[in-house]
Amino acid sequence: MADISPKKLSTKFEHIMCHTFALLQCIVLIIILGSLEAFTTTNTCIKTSRGASNLSAIANPLKRRSRTNIIHVESVQEYKEQVVNEKECISVVRFYSQYCKSCQASEPHFYKLASEFSNKDASGIKVNFVEVPLNKNTSILHEALEVPSLPWTHIYHPDAGLVEERAVSKKYINDVRKCLRCYVYGECDMDDAPWDCKEVYGECAIE
Protein backbone atom coordinates (compact mmCIF):
# COMPACT_ATOMS: atom_id res chain seq x y z
CA MET A 1 0.00 0.00 0.00
CA ALA A 2 1.40 3.31 -1.08
CA ASP A 3 2.02 5.92 1.57
CA ILE A 4 0.07 9.20 1.28
CA SER A 5 2.14 12.20 1.95
CA PRO A 6 0.94 14.72 4.57
CA LYS A 7 0.57 17.36 1.87
CA LYS A 8 -1.74 15.19 -0.26
CA LEU A 9 -3.68 14.20 2.86
CA SER A 10 -4.09 17.82 3.82
CA THR A 11 -5.30 18.72 0.30
CA LYS A 12 -7.78 15.85 0.29
CA PHE A 13 -9.05 16.91 3.71
CA GLU A 14 -9.55 20.48 2.45
CA HIS A 15 -11.54 19.18 -0.53
CA ILE A 16 -13.74 17.13 1.78
CA MET A 17 -14.31 20.12 4.07
CA CYS A 18 -15.14 22.34 1.09
CA HIS A 19 -17.72 19.86 -0.21
CA THR A 20 -19.14 19.43 3.30
CA PHE A 21 -19.40 23.20 3.79
CA ALA A 22 -21.04 23.62 0.38
CA LEU A 23 -23.53 20.86 1.23
CA LEU A 24 -24.36 22.52 4.54
CA GLN A 25 -24.90 25.83 2.75
CA CYS A 26 -27.32 24.15 0.34
CA ILE A 27 -29.23 22.54 3.22
CA VAL A 28 -29.50 25.84 5.10
CA LEU A 29 -30.60 27.63 1.92
CA ILE A 30 -33.28 25.01 1.26
CA ILE A 31 -34.57 25.34 4.84
CA ILE A 32 -34.67 29.15 4.60
CA LEU A 33 -36.42 29.10 1.22
CA GLY A 34 -38.92 26.54 2.48
CA SER A 35 -39.73 28.62 5.53
CA LEU A 36 -40.04 31.77 3.43
CA GLU A 37 -42.38 30.04 0.98
CA ALA A 38 -44.56 28.72 3.81
CA PHE A 39 -44.73 32.18 5.41
CA THR A 40 -45.57 33.83 2.09
CA THR A 41 -48.26 31.28 1.33
CA THR A 42 -49.81 31.66 4.79
CA ASN A 43 -49.71 35.45 4.61
CA THR A 44 -51.23 35.42 1.14
CA CYS A 45 -54.00 33.09 2.30
CA ILE A 46 -54.77 35.37 5.22
CA LYS A 47 -54.89 38.45 2.99
CA THR A 48 -56.97 36.61 0.40
CA SER A 49 -59.35 35.41 3.09
CA ARG A 50 -59.69 38.90 4.51
CA GLY A 51 -60.09 40.38 1.06
CA ALA A 52 -62.78 37.84 0.16
CA SER A 53 -64.57 38.57 3.42
CA ASN A 54 -64.43 42.33 2.83
CA LEU A 55 -65.53 41.90 -0.77
CA SER A 56 -68.46 39.80 0.35
CA ALA A 57 -69.42 42.45 2.86
CA ILE A 58 -69.25 45.18 0.22
CA ALA A 59 -71.21 43.14 -2.32
CA ASN A 60 -73.93 42.35 0.21
CA PRO A 61 -73.61 44.80 3.12
CA LEU A 62 -77.00 43.94 4.56
CA LYS A 63 -76.38 40.24 4.80
CA ARG A 64 -73.73 40.52 7.52
CA ARG A 65 -76.14 42.48 9.74
CA SER A 66 -79.28 40.42 9.16
CA ARG A 67 -81.76 40.41 12.06
CA THR A 68 -84.05 37.57 13.09
CA ASN A 69 -86.82 39.97 14.11
CA ILE A 70 -87.04 41.47 10.60
CA ILE A 71 -88.93 39.75 7.81
CA HIS A 72 -87.10 39.79 4.46
CA VAL A 73 -89.43 39.88 1.45
CA GLU A 74 -88.16 38.88 -2.01
CA SER A 75 -91.33 38.66 -4.12
CA VAL A 76 -94.77 40.17 -4.69
CA GLN A 77 -96.41 37.04 -3.27
CA GLU A 78 -94.35 37.25 -0.07
CA TYR A 79 -95.27 40.92 0.28
CA LYS A 80 -98.94 40.03 -0.03
CA GLU A 81 -98.64 37.27 2.58
CA GLN A 82 -96.48 39.16 5.09
CA VAL A 83 -97.89 42.68 4.76
CA VAL A 84 -101.13 43.06 2.82
CA ASN A 85 -102.88 40.06 4.41
CA GLU A 86 -101.61 40.79 7.93
CA LYS A 87 -104.64 41.45 10.15
CA GLU A 88 -103.17 41.35 13.64
CA CYS A 89 -99.94 43.37 13.59
CA ILE A 90 -98.84 46.80 12.49
CA SER A 91 -96.33 46.37 9.67
CA VAL A 92 -93.40 48.72 9.12
CA VAL A 93 -91.94 48.18 5.66
CA ARG A 94 -88.54 49.46 4.60
CA PHE A 95 -87.81 49.70 0.88
CA TYR A 96 -84.09 49.87 0.17
CA SER A 97 -81.23 49.00 -2.16
CA GLN A 98 -78.06 47.30 -0.95
CA TYR A 99 -76.04 49.67 -3.17
CA CYS A 100 -77.68 52.83 -1.77
CA LYS A 101 -75.36 54.73 0.61
CA SER A 102 -78.26 56.38 2.41
CA CYS A 103 -79.86 52.96 2.89
CA GLN A 104 -76.63 51.62 4.36
CA ALA A 105 -76.26 54.62 6.68
CA SER A 106 -79.82 54.37 7.99
CA GLU A 107 -79.88 50.58 8.28
CA PRO A 108 -78.59 50.32 11.89
CA HIS A 109 -81.10 52.97 12.97
CA PHE A 110 -83.94 51.00 11.39
CA TYR A 111 -82.71 47.85 13.17
CA LYS A 112 -82.59 49.77 16.44
CA LEU A 113 -86.16 50.90 15.85
CA ALA A 114 -87.16 47.28 15.26
CA SER A 115 -85.52 46.21 18.52
CA GLU A 116 -87.33 48.99 20.42
CA PHE A 117 -90.72 47.71 19.27
CA SER A 118 -89.85 44.01 19.33
CA ASN A 119 -92.67 42.06 21.03
CA LYS A 120 -94.20 45.29 22.28
CA ASP A 121 -97.81 44.40 23.00
CA ALA A 122 -98.68 46.59 26.00
CA SER A 123 -101.27 48.26 23.79
CA GLY A 124 -102.50 44.94 22.44
CA ILE A 125 -100.87 45.68 19.07
CA LYS A 126 -97.65 44.00 17.93
CA VAL A 127 -95.34 45.32 15.22
CA ASN A 128 -93.78 43.46 12.31
CA PHE A 129 -90.74 44.93 10.60
CA VAL A 130 -90.30 44.06 6.93
CA GLU A 131 -87.52 44.79 4.42
CA VAL A 132 -87.98 44.82 0.67
CA PRO A 133 -84.75 45.11 -1.34
CA LEU A 134 -84.77 46.55 -4.83
CA ASN A 135 -83.87 43.76 -7.29
CA LYS A 136 -85.21 42.12 -10.44
CA ASN A 137 -87.85 40.22 -8.44
CA THR A 138 -89.15 43.19 -6.46
CA SER A 139 -88.71 46.09 -8.89
CA ILE A 140 -92.31 45.68 -10.09
CA LEU A 141 -93.45 45.91 -6.47
CA HIS A 142 -91.49 49.12 -5.91
CA GLU A 143 -93.06 50.56 -9.06
CA ALA A 144 -96.59 49.42 -8.25
CA LEU A 145 -96.40 50.97 -4.77
CA GLU A 146 -94.93 54.16 -6.28
CA VAL A 147 -91.94 54.26 -3.96
CA PRO A 148 -90.51 57.73 -4.74
CA SER A 149 -87.02 57.34 -3.25
CA LEU A 150 -84.84 55.06 -1.16
CA PRO A 151 -84.84 54.33 1.67
CA TRP A 152 -88.61 54.63 2.05
CA THR A 153 -91.10 53.24 4.55
CA HIS A 154 -94.76 52.23 4.59
CA ILE A 155 -96.70 51.73 7.80
CA TYR A 156 -99.73 49.43 7.64
CA HIS A 157 -102.36 49.25 10.38
CA PRO A 158 -104.30 45.98 10.62
CA ASP A 159 -107.61 47.86 10.63
CA ALA A 160 -106.87 50.83 8.39
CA GLY A 161 -104.37 49.42 5.86
CA LEU A 162 -101.65 51.74 4.56
CA VAL A 163 -101.63 54.75 6.90
CA GLU A 164 -98.17 56.29 6.42
CA GLU A 165 -95.57 56.76 3.67
CA ARG A 166 -92.35 58.37 4.82
CA ALA A 167 -88.65 58.73 4.12
CA VAL A 168 -86.73 56.50 6.50
CA SER A 169 -83.20 57.82 6.00
CA LYS A 170 -81.03 58.59 9.02
CA LYS A 171 -82.33 62.17 9.04
CA TYR A 172 -85.99 61.13 9.31
CA ILE A 173 -85.81 58.01 11.49
CA ASN A 174 -87.04 59.88 14.57
CA ASP A 175 -90.09 61.07 12.63
CA VAL A 176 -90.87 57.46 11.81
CA ARG A 177 -90.37 56.52 15.48
CA LYS A 178 -92.83 59.22 16.65
CA CYS A 179 -95.32 58.21 14.02
CA LEU A 180 -95.08 54.55 14.97
CA ARG A 181 -95.58 55.31 18.66
CA CYS A 182 -98.76 57.09 17.68
CA TYR A 183 -100.20 53.98 16.05
CA VAL A 184 -98.92 51.53 18.65
CA TYR A 185 -99.61 53.43 21.86
CA GLY A 186 -101.81 56.34 20.80
CA GLU A 187 -99.01 58.70 21.82
CA CYS A 188 -97.58 61.59 19.83
CA ASP A 189 -96.71 65.27 20.08
CA MET A 190 -99.65 67.48 19.25
CA ASP A 191 -97.49 69.76 17.11
CA ASP A 192 -96.09 66.82 15.14
CA ALA A 193 -99.14 64.58 14.95
CA PRO A 194 -99.75 62.72 11.69
CA TRP A 195 -103.02 63.75 10.10
CA ASP A 196 -104.56 60.34 10.61
CA CYS A 197 -103.37 59.71 14.19
CA LYS A 198 -106.62 61.01 15.72
CA GLU A 199 -108.62 59.22 13.06
CA VAL A 200 -107.16 55.87 14.13
CA TYR A 201 -107.18 56.32 17.89
CA GLY A 202 -109.72 59.11 18.46
CA GLU A 203 -107.26 60.98 20.69
CA CYS A 204 -103.60 61.68 19.97
CA ALA A 205 -102.31 63.40 23.12
CA ILE A 206 -101.15 61.47 26.17
CA GLU A 207 -103.63 61.94 29.00
Q: Which whole-number Å values give the CA distances from 142 to 30, 61, 75, 133, in the listed order?
A: 63, 20, 11, 9
Q: What is the pLDDT of residue 206?
A: 29
DSSP state of 3: P
Could you tell me where the beta strands, DSSP code E, fall in the chain?
Answer: 70-72, 89-96, 126-133, 152-157, 161-167
CB 168 within 8 A of CB 112: no
User: pTM for this structure?
Assistant: 0.60
State how far the Cα of 144 lies from the Cα of 140, in Å rounded to an integer: 6
Q: What is the pLDDT of residue 120?
A: 58
Q: What is the pLDDT of residue 29?
A: 57
**Radius of gyration over alpha carbons of the chain, in Å?**
34
Q: What is the pLDDT of residue 54?
A: 42
Q: What is the pLDDT of residue 45?
A: 41
Q: What is the pLDDT of residue 194?
A: 45
pLDDT, mean of each 10-residue run, the chain (207 residues): 54 60 61 52 44 40 55 95 93 96 96 84 77 95 95 94 94 93 73 44 35
